Structure 1
Amino acid sequence: MKRVLQPVNTEHFIKKGVLFMGFINILGVLIIAILAVSAIYTLVLGRQQKVVEGNLDTQIEKHVQKHAYIKNPIFLAYGIFFALLLFIVFFVAITFY
């Protein structure tokens, strides 16, 4: 019994590839926007710090003390990173499997 190879339907793969490339473009624009906002925010905070004129031991604001983990930009960055990572994993899993 000989096996005859059937032609592959490439339209399915082309549609998924175009969808994935659109996702990559949107993700790239989102990353650039986040970087721009972060750079502007850093510059604003740097200028505010110069106004303080070296007084490093100032009182922490009450709303920051109440939400020390939520207001911490490091934890916020990690949260955003893992949320985007999960989104990418689910998108690839749904699109290609």
Structure 2
Amino acid sequence: MIKRIWHGWTTPENADAYFRVLTSEVIPGIEAKAIPGYLGIEVLRREVEDEVEFVTIMSFQSLDNIIALQGPDYERCYVPDVAKKVLKRWDLTSQHYEVKHARSYG
């Protein structure tokens, strides 16, 4: 399994608006593509000084699935214009990690 991790930051005033855009437009748009091997997404949020940081963690069966989504330049981030309007700044690339071990409880 591969985890694709990306960070974006916004102002406290725009944090709820970004979360709505992310969960009502961006994520459904990605899921509508029915990408083989896409397993899901997690959204993390935390306040850091004068910003609110969001982290998305997408799960895929393999790197080939991510390449199917993004093409050969698969590290490039995907930030649609609607999200750019409420974000302050964001990572231009995503990081990819192979899951070597995982445990879940509950």
Same fold (TM over 0.5): no
Q: Which has the larger radius of gyration?
A: 1
Structure with more helix by fraction: 1
Q: TM-score, normalised by structure 2?
A: 0.28
